[in-house]
């Protein structure tokens, strides 16, 4: 998987969880300390995200970091 593909996977999974929890872009941005436009760029896969942000997302959504990376069953 390339970095671009990973960024797209992460973005889609963030957006999926945000929508499932009925959070607006503005609300998620506030929780992450991002601007709304930064959240939009991450969700679209046009901007990558840091390990710290993935950690924050895992705490916000109650999901393992692996979920956002698109890893089924964890890393061996």
> Which domains, ranges and CATH numbers included, belong to the chain?
3-68 (1.10.260.40)
* Mean pLDDT, rounded, of the chain: 94
Regarding predicted confidence, which is higher, 72 or 34? 34
Give the 3-state secondary structure of residue 11: helix
Is residue 19 within a helix (H) or strand (E), and if so which, with residue range?
helix 3-20
Average pLDDT over residues 49-75: 90
Q: For residue 48, what pLDDT is reported?
A: 95
- Of all residues in the chain, what percent carry a pLDDT higher than 70? 95
| Structure confidence by residue, pLDDT tens digits, 10-44 | 999 999 999 999 999 999 999 999 999 999 999 99
Residue 75, pLDDT score: 52
């Amino acid at each position: 998987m390339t970095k671009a593909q990973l960024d797209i996977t992460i973005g889609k999974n963030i957006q999926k969880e945000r929508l499932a929890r009925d959070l607006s872009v503005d609300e998620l941005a506030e929780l992450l300390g991002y601007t709304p436009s930064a959240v939009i760029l991450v969700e679209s896969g046009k901007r990558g995200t840091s390990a710290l942000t993935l950690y924050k997302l895992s705490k916000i959504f109650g999901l393992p970091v692996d979920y956002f990376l698109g890893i089924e069953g964890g890393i061996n």
